[in-house]
């Protein structure tokens, strides 16, 4: 009997070339990289402005890091992790989300002795054995940030503000509503979980198979089930807001005041619980205005108990993460274009060995001057090379033939209008800089090292 996965592979292979991407993953082709580059730039810029520093944790961790933090009853741990044994039989898992690794790192690296709160951000790829569909992949990218070490509704408000600001910079904030809820402290949640169990007692038959299973271990998840019957019941189920302690209520009210001060609109959503076990108090998500939770672009919240749960000192924290593939899909939907940093400025065409000898140092010189240059160094006829230049959509082509070698010059051709002029060889670079504009040069500037 073939396994499911073998059957998938067979189906794929029958449909096309023998080797294809594995199910649920995809190549990022050059055109899409322009989006990834742009998004990363915006995230880096806004996070830096807000005092966050970048962290990268390993692609895989010991499985317990995720099991302990995300929780055995979560969908991620129970169904979606890529877990394998290494050669010594240790159980490892490809990271399905960012917070667990960052928290592990905070504890392991003694970050509690750093000035608090520690503000970290990441831009990484993650892995979940999700059912592949539009906007849902088995390898995907997220950016996210965490504020660890302090608890104050003003910090939650800032995390929400920063999330919203980035979506705004990317031109898509208006497509989403901010859904906000408080799931209280862990005692509040225990009380509420009991109230939910009491409510659902005797109604099990109306629940979907998933919820029947979740009722015992994680009844809060029943509130955000997408199945019709479960949704109807969830609407009349007890509300978290009725089970919040005074302290949790005050915290939430204060957060809403700060959001008001920051001019951030939100929608109070008593059913919002988020999929992961570690949240406390504030939870929030950005939902697509047209199809709601199905296409949430990102979410986050406070997780005051997690660091202690993972073996650290009791330390409050909150964070956010958003999916980059979904952001790109929305930017495309809005027809938002991003700078195409890879577009070539110049194509160099040549004819004959002597011309080639002049071309090689010229190409180096052009590139060193920040001009993105492609050279046709094969043996094609000038006409063929010009056709190629057209295909690359370069604005300018430099042509060096036998005459130009003899006259120590080069032809600079404007490909868009078809005009050309002969320029002394040692003036070619200046001529191109003048034409593309000083500000469009692609100069490498690593910044100055401090010794």
Residue ranges binding ligand AMP (CB under 6 A)? 97, 128, 130, 135-137, 140, 142, 275, 296-299, 321-323, 325-326
Task: Match 């957060």 to its residue by tokens.
Answer: 255
User: In whole angstroms, how close is the CB of 363 to ligand AMP at the nearest point?
Assistant: 41
User: In whole angstroms, how close is the CB of 234 to ligand AMP at the nearest point?
Assistant: 19
Cβ proximity to ligand AMP, 255 vs 322, nearer residue: 322
Distance CA 328, CA 170 (A): 9
User: In whole angstroms, how close is the CB of 257 to ligand AMP at the nearest point?
Assistant: 26
Cβ proximity to ligand AMP, 197 vs 289, nearer residue: 289
31: tokens are: 């055109």
User: In whole angstroms, how close is the CB of 278 to ligand AMP at the nearest point?
Assistant: 11
Cβ proximity to ligand AMP, 128 vs 413, nearer residue: 128
Distance CA 248, CA 387 (A): 68
Distance CA 81, CA 86 (A): 15
User: In whole angstroms, how close is the CB of 210 to ligand AMP at the nearest point?
Assistant: 16
CB 231 within 8 A of CB 223: no
How far is C-alpha 246 from the chain's CA centre? 37
Cβ proximity to ligand AMP, 142 vs 373, nearer residue: 142
Cβ proximity to ligand AMP, 42 vs 348, nearer residue: 42
**Helical residues (DSSP H) of 348-427, grouped into ranges:** 353-368, 382-391, 402-407
Distance CA 400, CA 356 (A): 8
Cβ proximity to ligand AMP, 196 vs 321, nearer residue: 321
253: tokens are: 């009210």
Distance CA 162, CA 47 (A): 8
129 Cβ contact list (under 8 Å, min separation 6): 24, 79, 80, 81, 82, 138
User: In whole angstroms, how close is the CB of 127 to ligand AMP at the nearest point?
Assistant: 9
Cβ proximity to ligand AMP, 135 vs 292, nearer residue: 135
Strand, coil or helix: 252:
helix
Distance CA 331, CA 336 (A): 5
User: In whole angstroms, how close is the CB of 21 to ligand AMP at the nearest point?
Assistant: 14
């Amino acid at each position: 009997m073939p396994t499911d996965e073998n059957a998938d592979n067979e189906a794929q292979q029958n449909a096309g070339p023998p080797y294809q991407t594995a199910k649920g993953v995809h190549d990022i082709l050059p055109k899409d990289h322009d989006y990834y580059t742009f998004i990363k730039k915006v995230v880096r810029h806004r996070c830096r402005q807000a005092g966050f520093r970048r962290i990268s944790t390993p692609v895989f961790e010991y499985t317990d890091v995720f099991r302990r933090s995300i929780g055995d009853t979560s969908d991620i741990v129970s169904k979606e992790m890529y877990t394998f044994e290494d050669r010594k039989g240790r159980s490892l898992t490809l990271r399905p989300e960012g917070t667990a690794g960052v928290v592990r790192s905070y504890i392991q690296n003694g970050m509690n002795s750093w000035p608090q709160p520690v503000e970290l951000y990441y831009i990484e790829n993650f892995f979940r054995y999700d059912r592949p569909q539009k906007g849902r992949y088995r390898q995907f990218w997220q950016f996210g940030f965490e504020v660890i070490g302090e608890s104050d509704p003003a910090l939650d408000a800032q995390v929400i503000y920063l999330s919203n600001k980035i979506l705004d910079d990317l031109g898509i904030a208006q497509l989403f509503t901010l859904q906000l809820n408080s799931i209280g402290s862990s005692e509040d949640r225990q009380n509420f979980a009991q109230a939910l169990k009491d409510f659902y007692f005797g109604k099990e038959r109306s629940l979907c198979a998933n919820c029947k299973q979740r009722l015992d271990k994680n009844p809060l998840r029943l509130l955000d089930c997408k199945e019709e019957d479960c949704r109807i019941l969830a609407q009349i189920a007890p509300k978290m807001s009725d089970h919040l302690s005074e302290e949790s209520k005050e915290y939430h009210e204060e957060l809403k005041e700060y959001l008001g001060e920051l001019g951030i609109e939100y929608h109070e959503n008593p059913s919002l619980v988020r999929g992961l076990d570690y949240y406390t108090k504030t939870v929030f998500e950005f939902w697509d205005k047209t199809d709601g939770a199905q296409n949430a672009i990102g979410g986050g919240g406070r997780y005051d108990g997690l660091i202690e749960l993972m073996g650290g000192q009791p330390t409050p924290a909150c964070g956010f993460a958003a999916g980059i593939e979904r952001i790109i899909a929305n930017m495309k939907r809005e027809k938002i274009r991003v700078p195409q940093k890879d577009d070539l400025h110049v194509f160099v065409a040549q004819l004959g060995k002597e011309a080639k000898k002049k071309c090689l140092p010229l190409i180096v010189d052009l590139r060193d001057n920040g001009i993105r240059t492609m050279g046709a160094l094969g043996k094609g006829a000038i006409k063929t090379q010009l056709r190629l230049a057209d295909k690359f959509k370069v604005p300018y082509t430099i042509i060096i033939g036998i005459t130009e070698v003899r006259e120590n010059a080069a032809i600079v051709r404007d490909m868009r209008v078809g005009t050309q002029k002969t320029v002394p060889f040692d003036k070619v670079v200046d001529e191109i800089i003048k034409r593309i504009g000083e500000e469009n040069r692609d100069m490498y500037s690593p910044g100055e090292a401090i010794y």
